[in-house]
Amino acid sequence: MSEKKKWLPRWFYQLASPRWSYDIMGKLLPGFALVALISLVVGTIWALLYAPADYQQGNSFRIIYIHVPSAILAQSCYMLMAVAGAIGLIWKMKVADMVAKSCAPIGATMAILALATGAIWGKPTWGSWWVWDARLTSMLILLFLYLGVVALHSAIESEATAAQSAAVLALVGLVNIPIIKYSVDWWNTLHQPATFKLTERPAMAPEMWMPLLVMVIGFYCFFAVSLMMRTRNEILIRERRSSWVKELVGKQ
Amino acid sequence: MEQIVTKEQSKSADESVLNLFWAVLKRDLMLAYRKKSDLFNPLIFFLMVATLFPLGVSPEPDFLAEVAPGVVWVAALLATLLSMDSLFRSDFEDGTLEQTLLSPQPLFIVVLAKVLAHWMMSGLPLTLLAPLLGVMLFLPAEGMSGLMMSLLLGTPTLSLIGAIGAALTVGLRKGGVLISLLVLPLYIPVLIFGTSAVQAAVTGLPLAGFFALLGAMLALGFVMAPLAISAALRISVSG
C-alpha cells in the first residue's frame, strides 16, 4: 500500500483540500500570467505585422489568429469541465466541483468569441455572416450546452446539488459531442478542415502557423490564469465560514 | 460473505427484475390512462404546431412538401419535450420517487420502465398520428414509411434523453423551460438523422443507413441514459 501511495506526488492529494489548492493556484498564477502575457503580445505582433498575407484571402485571414485558438479552447474547456465534473461526482472532491463550475462561463465566452470571429471572417470570405455549416453549427451547439450548464447551476440553490447535476449534464453532453459533431458533419459542410492535427503537419506555411501556435499557447495560459482566478474566488466564497478564509480576509 | 448463486436463485432474480419492470410499466400506464388530458395534450400540441407552418410560412403544396419532414420531426420533438416535465414530477411530489430510490430494486429497471411507459404515451401516438400530418403537409406518399419508421426509432431516444433533463430538474419548481434548454442541444443528432431518413425516402434513396444510425443511437441511449437518469434522480431527490 505504501508503495502505491508514492505513485502520485504529494501535491496531487493536496489539491483535494480547498485551502491547499488555493495556495497552489496562488503560486502558479504569476508564472502562467507571465507566459500568457508574453506569448499573446509576441503572437499578436508577429501575426499582424510579420506573418505573410494569404495569397487568396489577403489580410483578412489574419483573424485566424484569434479564431482558431478560441475555437480549440472552447472544445478543450468542455472536456476539462466534464472531467472535473466526473472527478467531483466520483470522489466527491469539492475543488473539482468548483473547477467545473468555473469552466462553464469561460468556455461559453470562448465559444462566443469563436463564433463572432468566424462570422466576421465569413463576411469577406464566404460573403455572408452566417452559413449553416457543420462546424459553425456544432460550435453553436457547444455554446448551447455551456449555456445549459450555466442555467442549471443558477437554477439550483444548493451548491453541492448544482455541482453534481451540472456534472451529470456535462458528462451526458460529452458522450453526445462526438455524435453531434459527426451528425452535423454529414448534414452539411463548407468549412475548411482543422488547421492543426496531431497526426499530420499543418498544411499552412511555417511562417503562418508558427505565430498561430504561439497564440494557441498564449490562449491556453490565459485560460489557465482566468480559470485559477475564478476557482480561487469560488473557493473563498464557498469556504467563507472556515477559519483560514476568515484569517486571510482579516489580514487584508 | 460469499454467496453461491444457484441456477434457481438466478432464475428467480431474473423473474423478479422482470416482474418489477412489468409492475412499474403497468402502474405508469394505468396512471396515464386515468389522467387522459396528459395523454392528449401533447398530441393536440403536435397537430397545432404543424398547422402553424402553412399559416406562418406558405400554404404552397410544393413548398410544404419540401419542408414536411422537418416540420413533422420538429413538432414531434417539441411535443415530446412538452410532455417530459410530468415524467417524474407527480412521483416526486407525492413521495413515491423517494420510496423508489430507497427500495432495494435496481433503479435502472424502474427508470427504463417509466421511460418506456412515457414513450408509449407520447412517442408511439405521435408516430401513429404522423401520417395525418404528412398528408396535411403534402408529404409524398413514398415518404410515409420513412417518416413512420424514423419516428418509431427516433422517439424512444427522445424520451430517453429527455428523461435525463426531467430527472435533473425534478426538484426545481420551474423545470419546464430549463428542461428544453438542457435537452434540445442533445436532440439535434436524432432530428438530423430522422429528417434525413424521410427526405431519403421521398427521393427514393436507400434508407438502411439512416435507420441503422437511429437504431445505434437508440441502443446507446437504452444502455447509457438510464444510468444518467438514475444518477440525476438520486442527486435531485437528495439535494
Taking only the tens place, the pLDDT of each residue in B160-192 is: 999 999 999 998 877 778 898 899 999 998 999
Q: Give the range among A221-235, B27-41, B185-199 with minimum mean pLDDT.
A: B27-41
CA angle B71, B74, B77 (to 5 degrees): 150
Whether the CB of B216 is below 8 Å from some CB of chain A: the reply is no
Contact B185 A180 (CB under 8 A): yes
Q: Which residue has the cell 502575457?
A: A37
Confidence of residue A70 (pLDDT cuts 50, 70, 90): very high
- Please report the pLDDT score of residue A247 as a whole number: 85
- Please report the pLDDT score of residue A79 as a whole number: 92
Contact B239 A165 (CB under 8 A): yes
Angstrom distance (rounded) from CA B191 to CA B149: 13
Residue B34 inside a domain? The answer is: yes
Residue B1 inside a domain? The answer is: no
* Residue B28 and residue B113 in contact, taking contact as beta carbons nearer than 8 Å: yes
Angstrom distance (rounded) from CA A119 to CA A110: 14
Confidence of residue A5 (pLDDT cuts 50, 70, 90): low
Please list every residue in chain B whose beta carbon sits closer than 8 Å to the beta carbon of residue A184.
Answer: 188, 192
C-alpha separations of A231 from A109, A224, B223 in Å: 16, 10, 35
- More confident call, B37 vs A200: B37
- % chain A with pLDDT above 90: 38
Confidence of residue B1 (pLDDT cuts 50, 70, 90): very low
The alpha carbon of residue A115 is apart from the nearest alpha carbon of chain B, in Å, by: 17
The C-alpha cell that represents B178 in the structure block:
430549463
Confidence of residue A228 (pLDDT cuts 50, 70, 90): very high
Mean pLDDT (chain B) is 88
Contact B192 A187 (CB under 8 A): yes
Contact A168 B168 (CB under 8 A): yes
Please list every residue in chain B whose beta carbon sits closer than 8 Å to the beta carbon of residue A82.
Answer: none
Contact B239 A164 (CB under 8 A): yes
State the count of interchain CB pairs (< 8 A) between A and B: 76
Nearest of A4, A122, A13 to residue A67 by alpha carbon: A122
Q: Give the range among A6-10, A227-231, B23-27, B213-217 with minimum mean pLDDT.
A: A6-10
Please list every residue in chain A whose beta carbon sits closer than 8 Å to the beta carbon of residue B178.
Answer: 151-152, 155
Residue B129 inside a domain? The answer is: yes
Per-residue pLDDT for B216 more than 90? yes
Nearest of A141, A205, A200 to residue A173 by alpha carbon: A141
Torsion angle defined by CA atoms of residues A75, A76, A82 and A86, in that order, rounded to the nearest 10 degrees: 160
Q: Nearest CB to A165: which of B161, B174, B232?
A: B232
Please list every residue in chain B whose beta carbon sits closer than 8 Å to the beta carbon of residue A107.
Answer: none
Query: Residue B175 belongs to what domain range?
Result: 10-238
Residue B3 inside a domain? The answer is: no
Per-residue pLDDT for A7 more than 70? no
Tell me if residue A58 falls in helix, strand or coil: strand
Q: Nearest CB to B185: which of A89, A148, A156?
A: A148
- Please report the pLDDT score of residue A51 as a whole number: 78
Half-sphere exposure of B175 (CA within 13 A, CB side): 26
Residue B229 inside a domain? The answer is: yes
* Residue B181 and residue A166 in contact, taking contact as beta carbons nearer than 8 Å: no
Angstrom distance (rounded) from CA A56 to CA A232: 46
Other C-beta atoms closer than 10 Å to the C-beta of A215 total: 24
Tell me if residue A174 falls in helix, strand or coil: helix
The alpha carbon of residue B112 is apart from the nearest alpha carbon of chain A, in Å, by: 17
The C-alpha cell that represents A226 in the structure block:
482566468
For residue A58, what are the β-bridge partners?
A54
Q: Which residue has the cell 492529494?
A: A13
Confidence of residue A1 (pLDDT cuts 50, 70, 90): very low
Q: Is A92 left (phi over 0), alpha (psi -120 to 50) or beta?
A: left
- Please report the pLDDT score of residue B172 as a whole number: 85
The alpha carbon of residue A215 is apart from the nearest alpha carbon of chain B, in Å, by: 30
Confidence of residue A2 (pLDDT cuts 50, 70, 90): very low
The alpha carbon of residue B207 is apart from the nearest alpha carbon of chain A, in Å, by: 15
Span A162-168, mean pLDDT?
92
* Rg of chain B, C-alpha, whole Å: 19
Mutate to test the interface with B, among A146, A150, A179 (most CBs of B within 10 A): A179
Span A74-95, mean pLDDT?
91
Residue B193 inside a domain? The answer is: yes
- Please report the pLDDT score of residue A250 as a whole number: 84
- Residues of A in CB contact (< 8 Å) with B are 89, 141, 144-145, 147-148, 151-152, 155-156, 158, 160-161, 164-165, 168-169, 171-173, 175-176, 179-180, 183-184, 186-187
By C-alpha distance, the chain B residue nearest A143 is B185
Q: What are phi and psi of A58, to 5 degrees?
A: 65, -140
Angstrom distance (rounded) from CA B49 to CA B67: 14
Nearest of B164, B91, B84, B114 to residue A165 by alpha carbon: B164
Measure the N-to-C terminal CA separation of chain B; round to a whole number of Å. 33
Residue B4 inside a domain? The answer is: no
Amino acid at B95: G
Is the pTM higher than 0.90? The answer reads no
Residue B220 inside a domain? The answer is: yes
- Please report the pLDDT score of residue A190 as a whole number: 54
List, for residues A90-133, the tens digit of each pLDDT value: 888 889 999 999 999 999 999 999 999 988 888 888 788 888 87
Contact B239 A148 (CB under 8 A): no
List, for residues B83-142, the tens digit of each pLDDT value: 888 889 888 988 889 998 998 888 999 999 999 999 999 999 999 999 999 999 999 988
Span A62-84, mean pLDDT?
90
Per-residue pLDDT for B214 more than 90? yes
Per-residue pLDDT for A214 more than 80? yes
List, for residues B85-95, the tens digit of each pLDDT value: 888 988 898 88
- Please report the pLDDT score of residue A36 as a whole number: 93
Q: What are phi and psi of A54, to 5 degrees?
A: -70, 145
Q: Give the range among A5-19, A157-171, A236-250 with minimum mean pLDDT.
A: A5-19
Q: How far is CA B44 from the centre of its chain?
A: 17
- % chain B with pLDDT above 90: 49
For residue A54, what are the β-bridge partners?
A58
- More confident call, A241 vs A110: A110
Nearest of B140, B163, B167 to residue B64 by alpha carbon: B140
The C-alpha cell that represents B69 in the structure block:
419532414
- Please report the pLDDT score of residue B104 as a whole number: 86
Nearest of B85, B87, B134 to residue B111 by alpha carbon: B87
Other C-beta atoms closer than 10 Å to the C-beta of A174 total: 17
Tell me if residue A54 falls in helix, strand or coil: strand
Whether the CB of B193 is below 8 Å from some CB of chain A: the reply is yes
Angstrom distance (rounded) from CA B123 to CA B158: 8
Span B194-207, mean pLDDT?
89
Per-residue pLDDT for B36 more than 90? no
List, for residues B222-235, the tens digit of each pLDDT value: 999 999 999 999 99
Nearest of A84, A81, A77 to residue A111 by alpha carbon: A77
* Residue A195 and residue A135 in contact, taking contact as beta carbons nearer than 8 Å: no
Contact B188 A173 (CB under 8 A): no
- More confident call, B135 vs A179: B135
Q: How far is CA A68 from the centre of its chain?
A: 13
Whether the CB of B182 is below 8 Å from some CB of chain A: the reply is yes
The C-alpha cell that represents B68 in the structure block:
414536411
Report the domain count for chain B. Answer: 1
The alpha carbon of residue A102 is apart from the nearest alpha carbon of chain B, in Å, by: 18
Contact A165 B168 (CB under 8 A): yes
- Please report the pLDDT score of residue A37 as a whole number: 94
C-alpha separations of A137 from A108, A143, A212, B81 in Å: 15, 10, 24, 21
C-alpha separations of B162 from A183, A225, B157, B182 in Å: 19, 36, 8, 9
Q: What are phi and psi of B75, to 5 degrees?
A: -65, -45
Per-residue pLDDT for A156 more than 60? yes
Q: Nearest CB to A148: which of B171, B181, B192?
A: B181
